[in-house]
Structure 1
């Protein structure tokens, strides 16, 4: 099952996720030099923000490439035209060749300055024409007429700098106003239309939208995606998954919320009086009094995303608290000891809040429906029911043997591993099980085995049959 997470930014807001397509993958690979593909075992979704960002960068890239090609072509043409002498220049050069009078340096210098101004004025004006040409449908920017003069002399560095600065200032003055981006234009257009979100209808007036939503008061399923809900508040909160992000708010009071859960809680407690004030889970009978607890419940119980991993065994967990509890299982120290019997364990929860303390209680609240047997723990009742059906669910990984309970399987496994954790304090003889050690203590005059007064389970099962 694929994870419902954005492939680019790892966002988990499912209402904003859209499936990937070939166009987005090609553009994304072009920008990042990655090589992702469809159905590669990774998340196949992207949020709206990342889709728009990739699209904007692709448009910027294409625009930059086009501008660079145009500039290179323009500069190349100017250099060719300047280096190529005209027919008149050739004739003048031949006729002047017979004249023995040397040219005057001051006249050449002035002509060079004039030609320099004309050359760079022409170059910068051409750049201005390129910038303005793309927006000429919307903006009317006047340009100067060009003067063409040909000269063989080169301008000085100082005059070149002054000419470029002068023309750059004129370009800045005539620069048109910034155009709105495609994303901003789409958001404005979508926000002007009020979408129902429960069905595909759209409205221009907010009052018309409110009247239309009243039609869905008795509806308990989304017309767009078919998802079923348990209340009107949940239906109104679900509609935000099908409307633009700018309209993700309460349609009655225009108050905004960070998620649909908080919006549903808002409807339940302020606007929809007939709905319960608590939040109900659609996947289990859990009831939560607040949106935060409901969010934590969905993340810790129903989420398929494992964010936390054990450094020792690489096992994954949904929440950090479960990881902390698991890490204690790798600890060899059993620091929590029962005050009644000396039993020790690694975790406090495993001692006081779970199975062990039920051993010291006389209350047997788990009853078998097929015989009079009663048990203190639910695990004992499940093992008893498996005996009724002869269902041995615990399989040994070393041999074909099967057992009803995990404790018997652990004791059996020690036959294959050779582990004998129970050692006699008098003679140091070791045993695989605690019961075997108690039987052994009779040799030393200690009788630790206590027989039960209650009826054996096998006899109860035989009575039930």
Structure 2
């Protein structure tokens, strides 16, 4: 059978089409024309079908449901990608070290470990990234843009994926299960870290001290010990911290926020560890025992002060 003629050729890339309308639609890729705008968020698209697909984010339509866990998706390709979690398929192998991945994007992110190439630079703080999408995501930390809102509690997020993960707090969904012990997790990254407990594998090693970690995030966080970097600064008093979580905890000094409440008596605390210590007054638990006299305490600091009595 004779192949159909394609008389309409693109002047930019020489791609050919059977119909003029297809060529005109294709040329929008080169000229940057985005004629289809979303009425909800003003995001614009080159093709109508892309706008229609995008609008499912706003109307909540999820036509593709997983037969294993009933999770639903707006696009078929997302369902197919998700199903790999259940069937254990890992089709993408790193040519450098042989590690295999379920998703192509995860392989690409991993490969940055070997090449160290980071061509995308933030104009605000000079931080560099392997991918443009990561740069765009990072830039929202400077603008404060958080377009994705949780319908349950109103919390907002910079990324749709972060919202999806957060929503599992409300639903209790834990789609990622360990094949070794059956423990389930709400995040795939949490499962991967957990699996390292069974394998003992620590692929990410610090070049300064040789300490190894089960994930790259932990290595990067550890690296700040050596560099002394403190990128997170308090707007109230100027004190800086190596980790964002430390800054958030510190800010409670200024705001007076006490998010941790005792279920027994209703007393509230600024820190989770303070709640845990307090709860022992109700349970009677005293996990810190003196080796000299077997006296036990509800927290380590009480044990420390007690032990000084024996050393005097």
TM-score by length of 2: 0.42
TM-score by length of 1: 0.30
- Structure exhibiting the larger radius of gyration computed from Cα positions: 1
Q: Tell me: higher relative CO, structure 1 or 2? Use CA pairs within 8 A at least 6 residues apart.
A: 1
Q: Higher helix share goes to which structure?
A: 1
Q: Higher strand share goes to which structure?
A: 2
